[in-house]
């Protein structure tokens, strides 16, 4: 499957398809879900400080080995 991208106003490109973690509780399950998504090829995870789960998302990104 070929990934499509959206160009933002500043010229940066982001993958059009991503994983959202709104209302997903912080913790090991969130970290595992993000790690699994990254292994499957996801490169866009929508998170925010207001979701209160960015620590788990960040841990998954760090452990994934992806730049």
- For 24-54, give one letter per residue: b (16+ CB within 10 A) or e: beeeeebbebbbebbeeebeebebeeebebb
- The reply to whether 51 belongs to the active site is yes
Candidate list 30, 38, 47, 51, residue with the active-site label: 51
Active-site residue list: 51
């Amino acid at each position: 499957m070929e990934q499509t991208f959206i160009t933002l106003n500043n010229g940066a490109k982001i993958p059009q398809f991503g994983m959202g973690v709104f209302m997903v509780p912080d913790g090991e399950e969130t970290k595992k879900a993000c790690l699994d998504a990254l292994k499957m090829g996801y490169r866009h995870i929508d998170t925010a400080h207001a979701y209160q789960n960015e620590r788990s998302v960040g841990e998954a990104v760090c452990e994934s080995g992806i730049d």
